[in-house]
Amino acid sequence: MSLPIKLSITGLVFNGELAVAYEGERRRVHICILDDLDPYGPAGVRPKRDSVSSTPPDLDDDSAAASVHPSKPLPVGQRLLPSIYIESEIGQADKHVLKNVTRVERFIQDVIRKTVEEELVFPNFHTLVIGGQNA
């Protein structure tokens, strides 16, 4: 048994930096997304090592206590694409149709975020070949 499914992305919020490199002679464009929280990426800030003091800070200060148990950052895909709005329709138009199925929409959002993270976030990139003149 199969059911037709119709998905429409009605809104998308991107929160990140995009690096674009252009190769003029080869007529190619390379696209990559930079993650600010990646310490090994080009946009990342590497923590400086302090070799003088190896003792932990005093726990009397509230800010020091917060730094001991930092909150876990959001996954890369969630940070880069915080909002994806999808409308879904499952079923045949001449019969019953389910609209805006939350679980299906959430699954598609997760697949989009995971694909962006695995295929476009540094050090990964995508190359576009620009159609050109035939010589």
pLDDT at residue 109, rounded to an integer? 94
Whether the predicted model's global pTM rises above the 0.85 cut: no
pLDDT at residue 36, rounded to an integer? 79
pLDDT at residue 59, rounded to an integer? 47
pLDDT string in tens for the chain (135-residue length): 788 999 999 999 998 889 999 998 889 999 999 887 776 666 555 555 554 544 555 544 555 444 555 678 788 888 899 999 999 999 887 888 888 889 999 999 999 999 999 999 888 899 999 886 654
Token pair of 105 as six digits: 């929409």
**Residues 38, 17: Cα–Cα separation, whole Å:** 13
Instruction: Kindly tell me the burial class for residue 105, based on how many C-beta atoms sit within 10 Å of its own C-beta (0-12, 13-18, 19 or more).
Output: middle
